[in-house]
Amino acid sequence: MSPWFEWVTQLCLLGLFVAAILCLHRILVGPGAADRAVAFDTLSAIVIGMICLLCILWESSLYFDAVWILTLVGFLGSAAVARYLARGRLFP
């Protein structure tokens, strides 16, 4: 890995960290449950991106399975919140 590429990867990790802080701010102050669910969905996407960048930084594809597992599971949180908002309960 060339030095400029490592530098760019770390800069992108810093940018994702800033975006995660913005999402955490929305989770903290969001007026309703739906705002928090949207922010949590975005936060899981940011964690997926962080795992991708760490795979590049460590030059190992060991954790790359976590990426597609998180894409499958991360959507369940906001789907559960939507179902709870629409019906008032999770299971019929």
Partner 1 sequence: MNATLDLAREVAAAAAMIGGTFFMLVTGLGLLRFPDVYTRMHAAGKAGTIGVALLILAPVFFFAGSEPFVSLRGVLAIVFQFITTPAATYLLAHACYATRYPIHAGTALDELGRWMPVASDEDFGAE
Residues in contact with partner 1 by CB under 8 A are 1-2, 5, 8-9, 12, 15-16, 18-23, 25-26, 32, 34-35, 37-39, 41-42, 45-46, 48-49, 52-53, 55-56, 60-61, 64-65, 67-68, 71-72, 74-75, 78-79, 81-83, 85-89
Helix runs in 30-63, H state only: 33-58
In the bound complex, what is the minimum distance in angstroms from residue 18's beta carbon to partner 1? 7
CB 77 within 8 A of CB 27: no
In the bound complex, what is the minimum distance in angstroms from residue 21's beta carbon to partner 1? 8
Q: Which two tokens stand for residue 14?
A: 């810093």
In the bound complex, what is the minimum distance in angstroms from residue 84's beta carbon to partner 1? 8
Q: Using CA atoms, how far apart are residues 58 and 30, in angstroms rounded to an integer?
A: 35
Q: Using CA atoms, how far apart are residues 65 and 84, in angstroms rounded to an integer?
A: 30
